[in-house]
Structure 1
Amino acid sequence: MQLIYLDNAASSWPKPPEVAQAVARTIEQCGANPGRGSHGMAVAASRILFEARTNLARLMGVNNPNDIAFCFNTTDALNLAIRGYVRPGDHVICTKVEHNAVWRPLEYLKRHHRVEVSYVEANERGELSLAELDQAFRPNTRLLICSHSSNLLGSILPIEKMAQIAHNHGAKILVDAAQTLGVYPVHVKDMQLDMVAFPGHKGLLGPQGTGGLYIHPDIELEPLRLGGTGSRSEEAEQPNIRPDRYEAGTLNTPGIAGLNEGVKYVQNETVESIHTKEWTLTQRMMEAFASMTGVRVLGPGLGEPRTGIVSIVLDAMDAAEAAFVLDQHFQIAVRAGYHCSPLAHQTAGTLGAGAVRISVGCFTTEQEIDACIEAVGQLSRT
């Protein structure tokens, strides 16, 4: 039986064939360091980075591609944004559906650097009150952080309205787009976003170990890493020019080459069509699960906006056991547990037991969804 992969919220799979081809081609033909030499192979490697940065900028509505810094993943990008921007004595606001990639850095700054943190409550569906958010701001609030979409609930936050509220209070907004970029519109200019952290290996269909951070041109961050940049090497200080300031050391050129092909695939398919397909598949699942006894679906209700994530709780079976049975007996790959988001599980009331997360991708088929529905139905009747 062929594997049915429904863990796309962690890493998308399969990838477009062009992604692996670009990785291999770069290793074979452009194996030099980008920005570190004037010979032909080094120049070719630099061109790969330039093209990938340009395509990402086009996808996100970024005017200057150099305002995008390549990172290892979303967590790396969020750490650069949070620890590079927040100062002792600052106040930071985030929501109760955040990933540990936001929660842990904030709690570290709270413990060790006199940073105040407020967590805005959300309801079980992952929705928050904009009025309560507005009331959470203080004179020393420097940053608002929010997940565009919860990696547990699939709920989508109104980041454009949240950005307006933050700016009204003189604060900036940092968006965690781990679950949206490539599958849901993210346009930094139209939405007035100050920083956006994103992965390469999820909705953008690129390899693991890739990602990035958009940084508004008016924002200066303290870099997380200092070292070689290939520019201004005679100076003791890290260069101020972008993106060099935030990209010390040799980048993952083969991975970024693959990411570039993933971005081009998304651009050709269009974000809107990918989202429509994923939303249709999630609705198919949710409608079926609603008719099953002992299956509870987390997050927004049937027919409401969400990303391609459907997390469920089964009365008859522990989440970890259910995921194991789906894998071993039905060859269906899902994710069980806390999904690195204990705040979201606390919000959903599932912190004690966790949940089974089923996440579709742009290559998921109706037949695969129907097979998953049948398997969950069997588990619900055990």
Structure 2
Amino acid sequence: MIYLDNGATTIFKPQSVAQAVYRVLSSGEYGNPSRGAYHAAVNASEIVYETRQKVARLFNVPSNSLVVFTKNVTEALNTVIKGYLTPGDHVVMTAYDHNSVLRPIYQLAKRGIKNSCVSLNLQNNLVDLNKLEDMIRPETKMMVCTHASNVIGNLIDIKKVAKICHRHNVILVVDAAQTAGVIPIDMQEMGIDILCFTGHKSLYGPEGIGGICFNQSIDIEPLVSGGSGIDSYNHSMPNRFPEKLEGGTLNVPGIAGLGAGIDYIQNQRVKNQGEKSIKLADMFAHQINHNSNITIYTNLTAPHVGTIGLNFRGINSADISDYLNDRGIATRAGAHCAPLIHQALGTTTQGITRFSFCSLNTEEEVRQTSRIINHLAKIVGEDSGR
């Protein structure tokens, strides 16, 4: 199988990741972190602490305590959005955003929280940041945006967004689901107030682990309340990070796997890993973009990750994905849980077929896939000419 759905999850992981997870589960040496002073509990606490350090170094978080573990980026975004905004507040989002951002915001709209959306510039398929400042109101408290579209792969200029937000005392929340492990992220240099990430994509960790990174302590109401290992007589969650937002037992096997994944990408260098996946995506696009029956939505002249979104004229994206699957190529079709970009591009019915590359893909896989795509485009052209 040629696996080109890395934007959903990477299924080929470094052996070190599998070994880290297996050791926690099989050795009998890892208990419940922060729930005891015996050997197994301490071992688990050490893994959690060490992985917090790795995450903090990866994203340049000022303190390990400002790294909070969640089960995925969806839980991270829900925690931040629902825990910070209150009735009467206003939040800004973008046309690139995933339902992990949109649905919590729509849910809060029922409670009196207003929202605005930065639209797409259809001349270049990029989020029109020239409209952002006009959308900020006195009651605007938060801007939430994805770092890169999960449908077409193009990036949002986070530094530019941060400067605008901070001029108006608006906190910036970035969804790094598609960029963590692909694009070097420095929270302090880029001006990111809160970063939400997942471990199972280009950080090469297992599913079921993600997190929130804060640039400073921010008052967030917990999404989940429960055991924390400390302050047990308090009716509320402890008022300190990270325990305040980590109710219940942590996913120690997942955290161990995440730590191993971060070690892997740090050893390979994030910039190198990302550049390889982007190079493969560009190679693929350039090998197929001469076909008049194919529309490529990714703006290849603007910054992007290793994702190409395309359509064949007159063919549903699901049919294209099925055709490729029959030939051993795994892709993703449909709406990709990102409805606003499809509404803007006019692809709500057809959807888009997404090809998302990672550093473990090869140039030979690109060539094989391109040959099949070009052959299909030729067939489509012949059929349409009848």
What's the TM-score, normalizing by structure 2? Answer: 0.95
| DSSP 3-state at the match of 1:336 | coil
Pairing 1:42-121 to 2, within 5 Å after superposition: 42-111=41-110, 113-121=111-119
C-alpha distance in 1, partners of 2:236/2:222? 11
Identity, in percent, stands at 38
CA contact (8 A) 2:315 2:350 kept: no
Runs of 4+ in 1 over 4 A off after TM superposition: none
| DSSP 3-state at the match of 1:313 | strand
Counterpart amino acid of residue 117 in structure 1: N
- Single out whichever of 314-323 and 253-262 deviates more from structure 2: 314-323
Counterpart amino acid of residue 43 in structure 2: A
C-alpha distance in 2, partners of 1:295/1:58? 42
C-alpha distance in 1, partners of 2:280/2:314? 25
C-alpha distance in 2, partners of 1:258/1:186? 20
| Structure 1 position 357 matched with structure 2 position 354 | yes
Equivalent residue for 2:189? 190
C-alpha distance in 1, partners of 2:176/2:66? 16
Q: CA RMSD in A?
A: 1.1
CA contact (8 A) 1:123 1:348 kept: no
CA contact (8 A) 1:316 1:381 kept: no
CA contact (8 A) 1:309 1:360 kept: yes
C-alpha distance in 2, partners of 1:129/1:295? 25
C-alpha distance in 2, partners of 1:26/1:163? 39
Equivalent residue for 2:138? 139
Shift of 1:381: 2.4
- What CA deviation, in whole Å up to 9, does each residue of 1:174-201 have, x standing for no partner? 0010100110021111111111110000
CA contact (8 A) 1:316 1:379 kept: no
Shift of 1:131: 2.8
| Structure 1 position 342 matched with structure 2 position 347 | no
CA contact (8 A) 1:205 1:263 kept: yes
Shift of 1:376: 1.2
- Structure 1 residue runs of 5 or longer lacking an equivalent are none
| DSSP 3-state at the match of 2:174 | strand
C-alpha distance in 1, partners of 2:221/2:227? 16
- What CA deviation, in whole Å up to 9, does each residue of 1:55-91 have, x standing for no partner? 0100001120110110111110000010010110001
Distance 1:371 1:316, change over 3 A: farther
Counterpart amino acid of residue 324 in structure 1: D
Shift of 1:378: 2.1
Number of residue-to-residue matches in the alignment: 377
Counterpart amino acid of residue 60 in structure 1: F
Counterpart amino acid of residue 5 in structure 2: D
C-alpha distance in 2, partners of 1:195/1:31? 30
- What CA deviation, in whole Å up to 9, does each residue of 1:103-157 have, x standing for no partner? 111111112x101100111124442333310111000000001110000111100
CA contact (8 A) 1:227 1:248 kept: yes
Equivalent residue for 1:150? 149
Equivalent residue for 1:175? 174
Counterpart amino acid of residue 322 in structure 2: F
CA contact (8 A) 2:65 2:241 kept: yes
| Structure 1 position 374 matched with structure 2 position 363 | no
- What CA deviation, in whole Å up to 9, does each residue of 1:320-352 have, x standing for no partner? 011111112x11110000000011112222112
Shift of 1:299: 2.1
C-alpha distance in 2, partners of 1:10/1:345? 18
Shift of 1:241: 1.8
- What CA deviation, in whole Å up to 9, does each residue of 1:271-315 have, x standing for no partner? 1101111111111111112112311111213x4321010011011
Counterpart amino acid of residue 365 in structure 1: T
- What CA deviation, in whole Å up to 9, does each residue of 1:220-278 have, x standing for no partner? 10000111000111222210121111111011100110111001111111111011111
What's the TM-score, normalizing by structure 1? Answer: 0.96
Equivalent residue for 1:199? 198
Which of the residues 13, 16, 21 maps onto 1:15?
13
Equivalent residue for 1:243? 242
Counterpart amino acid of residue 14 in structure 2: P
CA contact (8 A) 2:66 2:217 kept: no
Shift of 1:316: 5.0
C-alpha distance in 1, partners of 2:235/2:50? 30
CA contact (8 A) 1:289 1:297 kept: no
Which of the residues 321, 324, 340 maps onto 2:322?
324
Counterpart amino acid of residue 359 in structure 2: C
Counterpart amino acid of residue 228 in structure 2: T
| DSSP 3-state at the match of 2:271 | helix
Equivalent residue for 1:231? 230
C-alpha distance in 1, partners of 2:107/2:235? 29
CA contact (8 A) 1:93 1:144 kept: yes
